Amino acid sequence: MHKGGWEMNVIECKGLTKVYGKTKALNDISFTLTENKITGLIGRNGAGKTTLLKIISGYLKETSGEVKVFSESPFNNLKVSANLIFVNEEMSYPGSLNLGEILKAAATFYENLDMELAERLMNYFSLDLRQYHTSLSKGMRSTFNTIVGISSRCALTVYDEPTSGMDAGVRKDFYRALLKDYIAYPRTILLSSHLLNEVEDILEDILLIKSGEKYLHMAMGDLKEYAIALSGRSVSITKWAEERKVIFQKSLGAGSSYIVVKNDLSALEIEQARNEGIELMPVSADDLCVYLTNKTIGGIDDVFSRS
Amino acid sequence: MILNSDSMKPIYIQIAEWLETEIISENINPHQKIYSQYQLAEMFNINPATAAKGLNILADEKVLYKKRGLGMFVTDEAKETILSKRKNETLKTLVVDLVKEADYLNVSEIELIQMVKDASSCIKGDGK
């Protein structure tokens, strides 16, 4: 993984829009993913994550705008198909083949597929090569799909909510297996999840979408320092809130408040806030993404507050 | 070491501090090769870019030096640099906080110094 110097763009989207009937699932999305990074695609239910991933993977055609994968349009494209694997819940395989036969068939298509790794993972996760995909439980099906995803070693590996249905232990093992294989065989990985805290440590970048639009695209490390929480007496907090954009606010009762603002406070302002008895706290990436994608800055509490 | 994802400290800082501790305790000595970003990524289950950020902080502070194509190595003055940094930054901040808290609680300077002495003899006493 030689960074530095020239980086190849694996995915390029310009003004990408997808319309289903009257709803805009994706609205004018533009971004670029460079080679050999793990990027997390984060968004709420219905934000357009799956639609975006399906367009990139060539399963759906965009309504307007441009999408390039390995510099080519992915829809009906053999070069893209041979270098990309899309792993999601709906993966369907011929019912007449058992898991071992599915892997063999996949190996004829994906030339980098590591059969030995696939079998070792199957064995570790207690999957039998003679089982049939349709006979597996939901969690086991997801596990098998992710094994195909890792061992195929495609230049672009796309996962849509790969861990749905898996138990906590399997999820952890899967992300560790993915990271280990990525370190050994660097490749571009795009991974959607609504459980950010589960994946944030292995991500290099994050792409956050909200209602079909790109909200932010930045390094994971920068996201963690993007916002700061202020907590203290409402009188002092209100003054701080007036001067800046509030990302989230919550009343803690008895005259106390908690607000989240952009982390652009100067050292002097931090000192000043502390002297006013305000507590400053980091905001986890997971919470921040929820706050940023809430419809209102009070979140669910706003539904119940009628004052 | 187990990384703390909820800490105020970013992961790459935690990595840098762990490496500093390894150097202070002489587990890794001058001119020895330090862990690569990939080894650290694997050890701590983090993205290699995050690990690289931790290594680069130490390179900027001249605790590590790069050998083209071979990786990063510990400098001659690494231990000294880390110790003086911890003393002048980390320890100083702790002392300021300590004095502030004592002031807040109306603890006199003499009383505070006595408390420091007691704590010190208690810790050193335990070691005997």
The complex scores an ipTM of 0.83
What is the average pLDDT across B103-108? 92
Question: Which of A183, A200, A219 is the closest to B41 by Cβ?
Answer: A183
**What is the per-residue pLDDT for A122?**
96
**Cα torsion A166, A35, A220, B74: sign:** positive
pLDDT at A3 over 60: no
The more confident residue out of A2 and A176 is: A176
- CB of B71 less than 8 A from some CB of A: no
What is the average pLDDT across B17-32? 95
For residues B10-43, b (16+ Cβ closer than 10 Å) or e, as one string?
bbbebbbbbbbeebeeeebeeeeebbbbbebbbe
Question: Which of B8, B38, B45 is the closest to A282 by Cβ?
Answer: B8
Q: What percent of chain A has pLDDT over 90?
A: 74
Whole-model pTM? Answer: 0.88
What is the average pLDDT across B52-77? 95
pLDDT tier, B5 (very low <50, low <70, confident <90, very high otherwise): low
pLDDT tier, B49 (very low <50, low <70, confident <90, very high otherwise): very high
- pLDDT digits 0-9 by tens, A122-173: 999 999 999 999 999 999 999 999 999 999 999 999 999 999 889 999 999 9
**What is the per-residue pLDDT for A1?**
44
pLDDT tier, A186 (very low <50, low <70, confident <90, very high otherwise): very high
**What is the per-residue pLDDT for B54?**
96
**What is the per-residue pLDDT for B127?**
52
Helix (H) or strand (E) holding B7: none
Q: Which of A134, A52, A57, A53 is nearest to A92 (CA)?
A: A134
What is the average pLDDT across A200-218? 95
**What is the per-residue pLDDT for B97?**
87
- CB of B12 less than 8 A from some CB of A: yes
pLDDT at B121 over 80: yes
Alpha carbon distance B28, A132 (integer Å): 51
Across chain A, what does the average pLDDT equal?
Answer: 92
pLDDT tier, A95 (very low <50, low <70, confident <90, very high otherwise): confident
In chain A, what is the greatest distance between 2 CA atoms, to the nearest angstrom? 71
- CB of B122 less than 8 A from some CB of A: no
Alpha carbon distance A248, A298 (integer Å): 6
**What is the per-residue pLDDT for A67?**
97
| Interchain CB distance below 8 Å, B48 and A183 | yes
- DSSP code string of B102-120: HHHTT--HHHHHHHHHHHH
Nearest CA in chain A to B47: A202
How far is the CA of A292 from the CAs of A49, A198, A219, A244, A246, in angstroms? Answer: 16, 18, 16, 15, 10
Question: Which of A197, A201, A281 is the closest to B45 by Cβ?
Answer: A201
pLDDT at B40 over 70: yes
pLDDT tier, B126 (very low <50, low <70, confident <90, very high otherwise): low
- CB of B11 less than 8 A from some CB of A: yes
**What is the per-residue pLDDT for A2?**
47
